[in-house]
Structure 1
Amino acid sequence: MKLASLFTAVTLTVIGLAGPTLAQTPEGPLVNGEWLEKNLSDPKVRVVEVSVEPGLFERGHIPNAQNVVWHTDLVDTVRRDIATKEKFQDLVRKLGIDKDTTVVLYGDNNNWFAAWGAWIFKSYGFDNIKLLDGGRKKWEADKRPFDSRVASVAPSQVSIGEPNSKLRARLSDVNDAVSKKTNATIVDIRSPDEYSGKVFAPPGSQELAVRAGHVPGAINVPWVRAVNEDGTIKSADELKKLYAAAGIDDSKPIIVYCRIGERSSHTWFVLSQILGYDVRNYDGSWTEYGNTVGLPVVNVAGTVWGGK
């Protein structure tokens, strides 16, 4: 009976009657569109879109994807903090995610907020988190399918603990690095004009600081230098050379920041998940640091409180 059962199972698989054979999850923190399209029906894969443009998901999304709104689902809107343990646990249960689920995140703006989502998932102990390399931009450019239907999934009963504080930097951690109490390298991933103080924030930004410039000692490596024209992330070798040229490697812990933490999440992902460096995301970023009374800033452009 055992041999007969084995023969039957093998035969059914060969002739295609035992269902599709799903590809093994790729090693590393990225998946490409080809792999994801072939595995959209895998019950152990959950696809989650985290975009910033309102209505984008509703107009069309990757089939079976579920929508997460970063500024309500992933944060505490009153405390200006990440989502609480209880709130995030409710969210992942609703998404049907367990600890052994492969979660593939993607979004617009070169995966900025998808990377924020990855940072939150990782902070709450979910290990099998991946980004769709190139995000919506690459998926659409490759003419892969979109859907407007809302996916229906069975909720999970997963339980989570408190967030991992080692992945997050606070204002005090940045101050300790500035004052040389610690040897952390601070990386400002904003544009050169933001870093110099020439502009306070990108056009159309609502979250602002009253001062422009950067954290003293911070090294400027704009996030965009880590991506290719099609939105995919550069190879590990290219990334190592890019950051090494700026004096950034795995010899010291790293703190990354931007304006509100979303672009720095992208660099956190690149440095920690792809290169394996010890990195914390300072999600308070410039809107906290630049608005804090009594802290020093560097402003080579000469702008002070909106004037000169």
Structure 2
Amino acid sequence: MSGYTHPETLVDTSWVADHLQDPNVRLIEADEDILLYEIGHIPGAVKLDWHVDVQDLVSRDFVDKEGFERLMSRWGISNDTTIVLYGDKNNWYAAYSFWLFTQYGHKSLKILNGGRAKWEAEGRPYTKEVPHYAPATYHAQDADESIRAFRDQVAAGLKDPNRRLIDVRSPQEYSGELLHMVNYPQEGAQRGGHIPGAKNIPWATAANSDGTFKSVEELRQIYEDKDITPDKDVVTYCRIGERSAHTWFVLTQLLGYPQVRNYDGSWTEWGSLVRAPIEKP
């Protein structure tokens, strides 16, 4: 973790193991595969189901401030609790959760570097026991949407010479060859391709084979080689915002880029917009 701008936002497996009984630490598992938690999870961890827990019931949006407060209270989390997020797929949804929780102003947020894969590879314990915590009092701030991009903002910046778009999807999705990912038909769009001017830097290029984040030197080279530099206004996107939140985390927390927003509408929105410009090779 040497050299990261905010090394305090990452913890390793040993740190988590040492804090399993710490009442001021709450582990939250956020997976792409929502059945993994029931198969086994880190002792004391609660389950965040992205399909239910943080979604508005009517519009395509997140829970509002009051809904977020109820969720934190239900898990026994107060404003002073240290939250450690982890999950599968190299922490896709853990990073997505970090991004959302940041909007509502939670201060002590961390990600388990390497997620489930690292914990499992080291043979550390899992449990099927679901913890129950006494409700806590939680006060969220109004959502800080300065780290969130919306479609009109993306469209308005297409000709901005200081704007940089990062498409973190696979090259096949970026080219339009793959209209929707296998097993993810709900993330499809009417058209394939990418937003004009977007650079294709797949999210996984930032991760090592064990799921941990690459060194600061490696990360800088990945992005600076594509002219993604700290002085630029950067917007990340994928299909629904979870993979691009992983890149948002890398740029803001590990490399310290000051102007990065995650476009969570992403390709499921842009690829179905009437008359929205699309590029293909």
TM-score with structure 1 length normalisation?
Answer: 0.86
C-alpha deviation, 1:152, in angstroms:
2.1
State the distance in 1 between where 2:140 and 2:16 align. Answer: 26
Amino acid at match of 1:257: Y
Q: Residues 43-62 of structure 1, C-alpha deviation per residue, up to 9 Å, x if partnerless?
A: 11100001121321111100
Match in the other structure for 2:195: 215
Match in the other structure for 1:155: 135
Deviates more, 1:220-229 or 1:154-163: 154-163
Match in the other structure for 2:279: 298
User: Where does 1:84-233 land on structure 2 (aligned, <5 Å)?
Assistant: 84-180=64-160, 183-205=162-184, 206-233=186-213
- Paired residue secondary structure (1:250): coil
Amino acid at match of 1:151: P
Amino acid at match of 1:196: S
Match in the other structure for 1:284: 265
State the distance in 1 between where 2:77 and 2:255 align. Answer: 26
Contact 2:181 2:187 (C-alpha < 8 Å) held by counterparts: no
C-alpha deviation, 1:135, in angstroms:
0.5
Match in the other structure for 1:7: none
State the distance in 2 between where 1:175 and 1:41 align. Answer: 48
State the distance in 1 between where 2:98 and 2:199 align. Answer: 24
- Select the structure of larger CA radius of gyration: 1
C-alpha deviation, 1:165, in angstroms:
1.1
- Paired residue secondary structure (1:234): coil
User: Where does 1:250-269 land on structure 2 (aligned, <5 Å)?
Assistant: 250-269=230-249
Contact 1:74 1:120 (C-alpha < 8 Å) held by counterparts: no
Contact 1:177 1:186 (C-alpha < 8 Å) held by counterparts: no
Deviates more, 1:265-274 or 1:76-85: 76-85
Amino acid at match of 1:237: E
Structure 2 vs 1, CA of residues 207 and 27 (structure 1 numbering), >3 Å: closer, same or farther? closer
C-alpha deviation, 1:103, in angstroms:
0.4
State the distance in 1 between where 2:241 and 2:40 align. Answer: 26
C-alpha deviation, 1:283, in angstroms:
0.2
RMSD, matched Cα? 1.3
Contact 2:105 2:140 (C-alpha < 8 Å) held by counterparts: yes
State the distance in 2 between where 1:56 and 1:199 align. Answer: 27
Amino acid at match of 1:210: Q
Amino acid at match of 1:292: L
- Paired residue secondary structure (2:52): helix
Amino acid at match of 1:287: T
Contact 1:28 1:274 (C-alpha < 8 Å) held by counterparts: no
Match in the other structure for 2:14: 34
State the distance in 2 between where 1:125 and 1:280 align. Answer: 16
- Paired residue secondary structure (1:280): strand
TM-score with structure 2 length normalisation?
Answer: 0.94
Match in the other structure for 2:3: none
- Paired residue secondary structure (2:227): coil
2:53 aligned to 49, 73, 83, which one? 73
C-alpha deviation, 1:27, in angstroms:
4.5
- Paired residue secondary structure (1:137): helix
Contact 2:73 2:138 (C-alpha < 8 Å) held by counterparts: yes
Amino acid at match of 1:251: D
Q: Residues 113-143 of structure 1, C-alpha deviation per residue, up to 9 Å, x if partnerless?
A: 1111111110100121111011101100010
Structure 2 vs 1, CA of residues 27 and 245 (structure 1 numbering), >3 Å: closer, same or farther? closer
**Percentage of pairs with the same residue:** 46
Which residues of structure 1 form unaligned runs of 5+? 1-25, 301-308
